[in-house]
Amino acid sequence: MKASTTVALPNVQIPREVPTTKHRFMDYFKGFEVVSAVREIFGGATDEILMNLQAEFFSSRFGYMGVSDEDGHRLISSYYLKEGNVRDLYLDVIHELIHVRQFKEGKELFDESVEYVDRPTEVEAYKHAVKEARRLGVSDDEIVEYLKVTWLSEEEVRRLAKNVGVKVARKPSRGLGIGFQLLHMSARY
pLDDT tens-place values along the chain, 189 residues long: 555 577 787 887 777 776 678 999 999 999 999 999 999 999 999 999 999 999 999 887 778 999 999 999 999 999 999 999 999 999 999 999 999 999 999 999 999 999 999 999 999 999 999 999 999 999 999 999 999 998 999 999 999 999 999 999 876 544 443 333 333 333 343
User: How far does Cα 142 stand from its chain's mean position?
Assistant: 17
Residue 106 covered by a domain: yes
Q: What is the pTM of this model?
A: 0.82
Range of the structural domain that residue 161 is part of: 23-184
Residue 4 covered by a domain: no
Q: Are 36 and 52 in contact (CB under 8 A)?
A: no
Residue 31 covered by a domain: yes
Overall domain count for the chain: 1
Angle at 61 between CA 59 and CA 63, to 5 degrees: 85
DSSP three-state, residue 174:
helix
